[in-house]
Amino acid sequence: MTTVPDMMLAKRIAHYIVEEGLAACANLGQVGLSMYMWQGELQGSEEVSLTFKTTVARVPELAERLRSLHPYELPELLCVPVLGGYASYIDWVRTSTAAS
């Protein structure tokens, strides 16, 4: 999961990540307000959340590519383990992200 400053950039990053096979799918959320401390000051900015469906094997490459596309000095990247789900969906994610 990550956040970006606007929808246009969210679409661009999602396009590259999915087209390059680093994720099977990217879900773009609605614009929301993020409140956070940065360099000792409270910040507030609108951001779009992005959730990628990928495998643990592709996370390092996805992280590297996200870093190259992201404008923030310190982009958010959180990885959440999948504890279960439809086997056929999980297989689709594996197949879609298999290194070619």
Write the CA distances from 34 to 20, 28, 43, integer angstroms.
29, 15, 8
Q: One-letter amino acid identity for 71?
A: P
How many structural domains comprise the chain?
A: 1
Nearest to 2 by CA among 62, 43, 56, 90: 62
Q: Under a CB-based contact definition with an 8 Å cutoff, are residues 23 and 54 in contact?
A: yes
Give the CATH number for residue 69.
Answer: 3.30.70.120
Structure tokens at 96: 């879609």
Residue ranges making up the domain that contains 6: 2-96
Residue 100: per-residue pLDDT? 67
**pLDDT tens, 18-38?**
999 999 999 999 999 999 999
**pLDDT tens, 39-66?**
999 999 999 999 999 999 999 999 999 9
User: In 3-state terms, the chain is what percent helix, strand and coil (to 5)?
Assistant: 35, 30, 35
